[in-house]
Amino acid sequence: MKGNYTYRLLYEKGVNVRYISQLDFVRVLNRTVRRSGLPVTYTVGFNPHPVMTVAAPIPVGTTSVYECIDIDFDEKQDTAFLAKHLDATFPEGIRVLEAKEVTQASVPFRDIDSASYTVRAEYSGAAPDVNAFLALGEILIEKKTKKGLKEIDIKPDIEKLVLLSAEDGICIFEMQLPCGNEKNIKPDLVVQAIEKYQPQFHAECVLPHRTAVYAKGKLIF
Protein backbone atom coordinates (compact mmCIF):
# COMPACT_ATOMS: atom_id res chain seq x y z
CA MET A 1 0.00 0.00 0.00
CA LYS A 2 1.36 3.38 -0.96
CA GLY A 3 -0.27 6.77 -0.72
CA ASN A 4 -0.36 9.34 -3.48
CA TYR A 5 1.90 11.74 -1.61
CA THR A 6 4.71 11.09 0.84
CA TYR A 7 5.91 13.72 3.27
CA ARG A 8 9.06 13.69 5.34
CA LEU A 9 9.03 15.20 8.81
CA LEU A 10 12.05 16.39 10.70
CA TYR A 11 11.42 16.27 14.44
CA GLU A 12 13.08 16.56 17.80
CA LYS A 13 12.99 13.99 20.60
CA GLY A 14 13.35 15.89 23.84
CA VAL A 15 14.58 15.13 27.32
CA ASN A 16 11.21 14.11 28.76
CA VAL A 17 10.63 11.47 26.09
CA ARG A 18 14.19 10.15 25.91
CA TYR A 19 13.25 6.82 27.54
CA ILE A 20 10.63 5.88 24.98
CA SER A 21 11.81 2.77 23.16
CA GLN A 22 11.70 2.61 19.39
CA LEU A 23 8.79 0.18 19.45
CA ASP A 24 6.80 2.42 21.78
CA PHE A 25 7.71 5.42 19.70
CA VAL A 26 6.20 3.90 16.59
CA ARG A 27 2.97 3.50 18.55
CA VAL A 28 3.12 7.12 19.66
CA LEU A 29 3.58 8.24 16.03
CA ASN A 30 0.74 6.02 14.96
CA ARG A 31 -1.66 7.49 17.49
CA THR A 32 -0.54 11.04 16.84
CA VAL A 33 -1.20 10.66 13.15
CA ARG A 34 -4.65 9.21 13.93
CA ARG A 35 -5.45 12.08 16.27
CA SER A 36 -4.34 14.63 13.72
CA GLY A 37 -7.39 13.88 11.59
CA LEU A 38 -5.25 14.37 8.48
CA PRO A 39 -6.02 12.32 5.36
CA VAL A 40 -3.21 9.83 5.89
CA THR A 41 -3.12 6.63 3.89
CA TYR A 42 -4.04 3.50 5.83
CA THR A 43 -2.95 -0.04 5.13
CA VAL A 44 -5.75 -2.37 4.06
CA GLY A 45 -6.72 -5.45 6.06
CA PHE A 46 -8.06 -6.26 9.51
CA ASN A 47 -5.65 -4.00 11.35
CA PRO A 48 -5.44 -0.84 9.29
CA HIS A 49 -2.64 1.49 10.34
CA PRO A 50 -1.11 4.63 8.83
CA VAL A 51 1.54 4.02 6.18
CA MET A 52 4.74 5.38 7.69
CA THR A 53 8.46 4.69 7.63
CA VAL A 54 10.68 5.71 10.51
CA ALA A 55 14.27 6.57 9.59
CA ALA A 56 17.05 5.31 11.85
CA PRO A 57 15.89 3.67 15.11
CA ILE A 58 17.05 5.61 18.13
CA PRO A 59 18.24 3.86 21.31
CA VAL A 60 16.40 4.26 24.65
CA GLY A 61 17.82 7.22 26.57
CA THR A 62 18.95 9.13 23.48
CA THR A 63 17.62 12.59 22.67
CA SER A 64 17.76 14.00 19.16
CA VAL A 65 17.27 17.06 17.00
CA TYR A 66 17.42 15.04 13.83
CA GLU A 67 14.73 12.38 13.59
CA CYS A 68 12.84 11.68 10.39
CA ILE A 69 9.70 9.89 9.39
CA ASP A 70 7.95 9.48 6.04
CA ILE A 71 4.15 9.50 6.11
CA ASP A 72 1.88 8.72 3.18
CA PHE A 73 -1.20 10.81 2.43
CA ASP A 74 -4.14 10.42 0.08
CA GLU A 75 -4.20 14.14 -0.65
CA LYS A 76 -1.63 16.82 -1.25
CA GLN A 77 -0.61 18.72 1.92
CA ASP A 78 0.70 22.17 2.60
CA THR A 79 4.06 21.43 4.24
CA ALA A 80 4.05 24.43 6.58
CA PHE A 81 0.57 23.52 7.83
CA LEU A 82 1.50 19.85 8.13
CA ALA A 83 4.51 20.61 10.30
CA LYS A 84 2.57 23.02 12.47
CA HIS A 85 -0.46 20.81 12.87
CA LEU A 86 1.47 17.64 13.72
CA ASP A 87 3.71 19.59 16.07
CA ALA A 88 0.62 20.64 18.00
CA THR A 89 -0.73 17.08 18.01
CA PHE A 90 2.39 15.31 19.30
CA PRO A 91 2.80 14.76 23.04
CA GLU A 92 5.09 17.18 24.79
CA GLY A 93 8.76 16.62 24.07
CA ILE A 94 8.33 15.78 20.42
CA ARG A 95 8.64 18.88 18.23
CA VAL A 96 8.09 18.83 14.51
CA LEU A 97 10.63 21.22 12.99
CA GLU A 98 9.89 20.96 9.29
CA ALA A 99 8.08 18.97 6.63
CA LYS A 100 8.75 18.47 2.96
CA GLU A 101 7.45 16.34 0.16
CA VAL A 102 9.45 13.23 -0.68
CA THR A 103 10.48 13.28 -4.33
CA GLN A 104 12.75 11.27 -6.58
CA ALA A 105 15.61 13.44 -5.40
CA SER A 106 15.04 12.63 -1.71
CA VAL A 107 17.47 10.36 0.06
CA PRO A 108 15.90 6.94 0.68
CA PHE A 109 15.98 5.77 4.30
CA ARG A 110 17.43 2.43 3.24
CA ASP A 111 20.68 4.22 2.35
CA ILE A 112 21.20 5.56 5.87
CA ASP A 113 24.66 4.59 7.03
CA SER A 114 25.89 7.08 9.59
CA ALA A 115 24.81 9.43 12.42
CA SER A 116 26.50 12.06 14.50
CA TYR A 117 26.06 12.69 18.22
CA THR A 118 27.15 14.79 21.10
CA VAL A 119 27.58 12.54 24.12
CA ARG A 120 27.54 13.72 27.70
CA ALA A 121 28.93 11.52 30.45
CA GLU A 122 29.81 11.89 34.07
CA TYR A 123 33.30 10.68 34.82
CA SER A 124 35.66 10.09 37.68
CA GLY A 125 39.41 9.44 37.73
CA ALA A 126 41.32 10.83 34.78
CA ALA A 127 39.82 12.66 31.83
CA PRO A 128 39.69 10.56 28.67
CA ASP A 129 42.58 10.84 26.21
CA VAL A 130 40.89 10.61 22.86
CA ASN A 131 44.04 11.01 20.79
CA ALA A 132 45.76 8.09 22.51
CA PHE A 133 42.57 6.07 22.09
CA LEU A 134 42.38 6.77 18.38
CA ALA A 135 46.05 5.91 17.95
CA LEU A 136 45.39 2.31 19.00
CA GLY A 137 45.90 -0.29 16.28
CA GLU A 138 42.62 -2.00 17.08
CA ILE A 139 39.78 -1.33 19.49
CA LEU A 140 38.27 -4.60 20.66
CA ILE A 141 35.03 -4.51 22.57
CA GLU A 142 32.24 -6.95 23.32
CA LYS A 143 29.02 -6.05 21.58
CA LYS A 144 25.60 -7.56 22.20
CA THR A 145 24.32 -9.15 19.00
CA LYS A 146 21.35 -11.36 18.29
CA LYS A 147 23.63 -14.36 18.81
CA GLY A 148 24.94 -13.14 22.16
CA LEU A 149 28.11 -11.27 23.11
CA LYS A 150 30.66 -10.97 20.34
CA GLU A 151 34.05 -9.28 20.36
CA ILE A 152 34.47 -6.84 17.51
CA ASP A 153 37.03 -4.28 16.41
CA ILE A 154 35.32 -0.88 16.27
CA LYS A 155 38.42 1.07 15.27
CA PRO A 156 37.45 1.26 11.57
CA ASP A 157 33.90 2.27 12.56
CA ILE A 158 34.77 5.43 14.44
CA GLU A 159 34.25 8.02 11.74
CA LYS A 160 34.77 10.87 14.14
CA LEU A 161 35.58 11.16 17.86
CA VAL A 162 36.43 14.47 19.49
CA LEU A 163 36.53 15.41 23.14
CA LEU A 164 34.81 18.78 23.36
CA SER A 165 35.35 19.30 27.06
CA ALA A 166 36.17 17.51 30.28
CA GLU A 167 35.75 19.46 33.47
CA ASP A 168 33.99 19.20 36.83
CA GLY A 169 33.41 15.50 36.27
CA ILE A 170 31.49 16.02 33.04
CA CYS A 171 32.94 15.18 29.65
CA ILE A 172 31.36 15.88 26.30
CA PHE A 173 32.28 14.07 23.12
CA GLU A 174 31.36 14.53 19.52
CA MET A 175 31.05 11.34 17.52
CA GLN A 176 30.07 10.09 14.13
CA LEU A 177 29.29 6.39 13.99
CA PRO A 178 27.74 3.80 11.68
CA CYS A 179 23.96 3.79 11.85
CA GLY A 180 21.58 1.84 9.64
CA ASN A 181 20.67 -1.62 8.49
CA GLU A 182 24.24 -2.66 7.65
CA LYS A 183 25.95 -1.65 10.83
CA ASN A 184 24.99 0.13 14.02
CA ILE A 185 27.35 1.33 16.72
CA LYS A 186 25.88 3.09 19.72
CA PRO A 187 27.79 5.96 21.34
CA ASP A 188 27.76 4.21 24.73
CA LEU A 189 29.80 1.39 23.22
CA VAL A 190 32.54 3.83 22.28
CA VAL A 191 32.57 5.26 25.81
CA GLN A 192 32.80 1.71 27.16
CA ALA A 193 35.76 1.06 24.88
CA ILE A 194 37.57 4.17 26.11
CA GLU A 195 37.01 2.95 29.68
CA LYS A 196 38.43 -0.43 28.75
CA TYR A 197 41.63 0.95 27.24
CA GLN A 198 42.01 3.78 29.76
CA PRO A 199 41.27 2.11 33.12
CA GLN A 200 41.85 5.35 35.03
CA PHE A 201 38.77 6.82 33.27
CA HIS A 202 35.39 5.78 34.70
CA ALA A 203 32.20 6.98 33.02
CA GLU A 204 28.60 6.73 34.10
CA CYS A 205 25.28 8.18 33.11
CA VAL A 206 26.14 8.32 29.41
CA LEU A 207 23.55 10.45 27.61
CA PRO A 208 23.83 10.62 23.82
CA HIS A 209 22.14 13.30 21.75
CA ARG A 210 21.77 12.72 18.03
CA THR A 211 22.54 15.72 15.84
CA ALA A 212 22.40 14.41 12.28
CA VAL A 213 21.74 11.33 10.19
CA TYR A 214 23.45 10.71 6.86
CA ALA A 215 23.02 8.51 3.83
CA LYS A 216 26.06 8.13 1.60
CA GLY A 217 27.46 11.41 2.86
CA LYS A 218 24.23 13.39 2.48
CA LEU A 219 21.95 14.61 5.27
CA ILE A 220 18.66 12.72 5.07
CA PHE A 221 16.38 15.73 5.42
Q: Which stretch binds other proteins (CB under 8 A): 23-31, 128-136, 168-176, 193-201?
A: 23-31
Angle at 106 between CA 105 and CA 108, to 5 degrees: 125
- Distance between CA atoms of residues 189 and 56, nearest Å: 18
CB atoms within 10 A of CB 35: 12
Distance from chain centroid for Cα 31:
21
Q: Does residue 190 belong to the site contacting other proteins (CB under 8 A)? A: no
109: alpha, beta or left? (left if phi > 0; alpha if psi -120 to 50)? alpha
Q: Does residue 168 belong to the site contacting other proteins (CB under 8 A)? A: no
Q: Does residue 16 belong to the site contacting other proteins (CB under 8 A)? A: yes
Q: Which is nearer to other proteins, 30 or 106 (CB)?
A: 30
Give the orientation angle of helix 22-36 with respect to helix 79-89, to 10 degrees: 110
The residue within the footprint of other proteins, chosen from 34, 85, 95, 100 (CB under 8 A), is 34
Residues 79-98 that bind other proteins (CB under 8 A): 91-93
User: Would you say 183 and 103 are in contact if contact means Cβ atoms under 8 Å apart?
Assistant: no
The residue within the footprint of other proteins, chosen from 35, 144, 150, 202 (CB under 8 A), is 35
Q: Does residue 142 belong to the site contacting other proteins (CB under 8 A)? A: no
Q: Does residue 31 belong to the site contacting other proteins (CB under 8 A)? A: yes
**DSSP label at residue 49:** -
Q: Which is nearer to other proteins, 112 or 207 (CB)?
A: 207
| Chain residues that interact with other proteins, rule: CB under 8 A | 16-17, 19-21, 24, 27-28, 30-35, 37, 42, 46-49, 60-61, 91-93, 122, 204-207
